[in-house]
Amino acid sequence: MVIPTEWFFWFVTLIAIIYTVAVRFIQRKFVDKDKQKGINKKLSENTKKYTEAMKKDNKREVERLQKEQGIIMKEFQGVMFSQFKIMGIVLVFFFGFMWIVNSVDPTVADDQSIIFNDDGLECDETAGDNRFTACFNIQDGNPGPWVVHATAFKDGANLGENATFFYFKEVLPQELYLQKKGNEPSITTNKNLYEENEQVIITVVPPGDATRVEGTVNKGTWFYVDLPFTIPFLNIQRIHQAYWWFIFLSIVFGITVSVLMGIVEKSIGKKGDKNAETKR
């Protein structure tokens, strides 16, 4: 299943909202905040009493408070363990939702997989010279920049990744997401601008002990969102890749929901205090 491109932005946004609501539901359902507050209060009171007993050199009281703190700490550890279990559930939800986003992404559905060879055949000039080459005839796709991504392997291990781009039909400068990783292989194309039915030749020079090189060409389609502001510290205004948009929205929605819930709980608490005072 692939979502139509024009709907995909809203689909990812909806998925991020559903994920945020699901996480908050899990946290409220399985995290006993009252118990947490009670344990924290006990620890705070115990620490205060312990400090006073130490100042007064009351050894008997110090020993009693130490035993009491041991009991409280066991309760605290139990709460922390339950939170770790909840974090595990949340992570399963997170990766599940990420899988959904990536599996229906229409901007990667048309990506062309390519295998680079160093066998001296077809467009590879010399066998065994550590220059891996792939070629294909360009026929369809969006005008503008196309991103080529290559990954070098030694047996099954990923040695490094790199990317470059070329233009199809038109030179349309764009801010591109060129993914790099590890010991980056060199990657070049034989031209910068191609017309329909022209042959694209891509050459990759990987780390010296690479045994295999694989890659993809995105055919001029990729997901990005331009924000109306620049994210502080990161100095980012354009978010590339659907999964980064999902992560960004999940963080923003999560913070927003937490703040709103805090305001509501505070308001309910104040009303409860007023009602209690009125009854008195």
DSSP string, 19-70: HHHHHHHHHHHH--HHHHHHHHHHHHHHHHHHHHHHHTT-HHHHHHHHHHHH
Give the pLDDT confidence of 237-267 residue by residue, as tens digits: 899 889 999 999 999 998 998 888 778 777 7
Share of the chain above pLDDT 90, in %: 42
Query: What is the pLDDT confidence band of residue 187, given thresholds at 50, 70 and 90?
Result: very high
Query: What is the pLDDT confidence band of residue 269, given thresholds at 50, 70 and 90?
Result: low
Q: What spatial distance separates the first Cα and last Cα of the chain, rounded to whole Å? A: 63
pTM of the model: 0.72
Q: Ramachandran region of residue 191, left (φ > 0), alpha (ψ -120 to 50) or beta?
A: beta
Q: What is the mean pLDDT of residues 84-109?
A: 87
Q: Which residue has the tokens 């949340």?
A: 90
- Identify the pLDDT of residue 207: 86
Distance, in Å, from the CA atom of 107 to the CA atom of 12, rounded to the nearest integer, reads 13
Mean pLDDT, the chain, integer: 87
- Identify the pLDDT of residue 31: 67
The residues, any chain, with a CB within 8 Å of residue 170's CB and separated by 6 or more, are 143, 144
Give the pLDDT confidence of 18-48 residue by residue, as tens digits: 999 888 888 777 766 677 778 788 888 888 8
- Lowest-pLDDT choice from 29-38, 71-80, 106-115, 148-157: 29-38
pLDDT at 272 over 60: no
- Identify the pLDDT of residue 277: 59
Measured in degrees and rounded to the nearest 5, phi and psi for residue 181 equal: -160, 145
Strand partners of residue 165: 147
Residue from 114, 118, 147, 148 nearest 208 by CA? 118
- Identify the pLDDT of residue 69: 84
Q: What is the mean pLDDT of residues 87-111?
A: 88
Residue from 97, 110, 129 nearest 14 by CA? 97
pLDDT at 275 over 70: no
Residue from 205, 138, 185 nearest 166 by CA? 138
Query: What is the pLDDT confidence band of residue 137, given thresholds at 50, 70 and 90?
Result: very high
pLDDT at 280 over 60: no
More confident: 215 or 85? 215
Residue from 114, 137, 128 nearest 213 by CA? 114
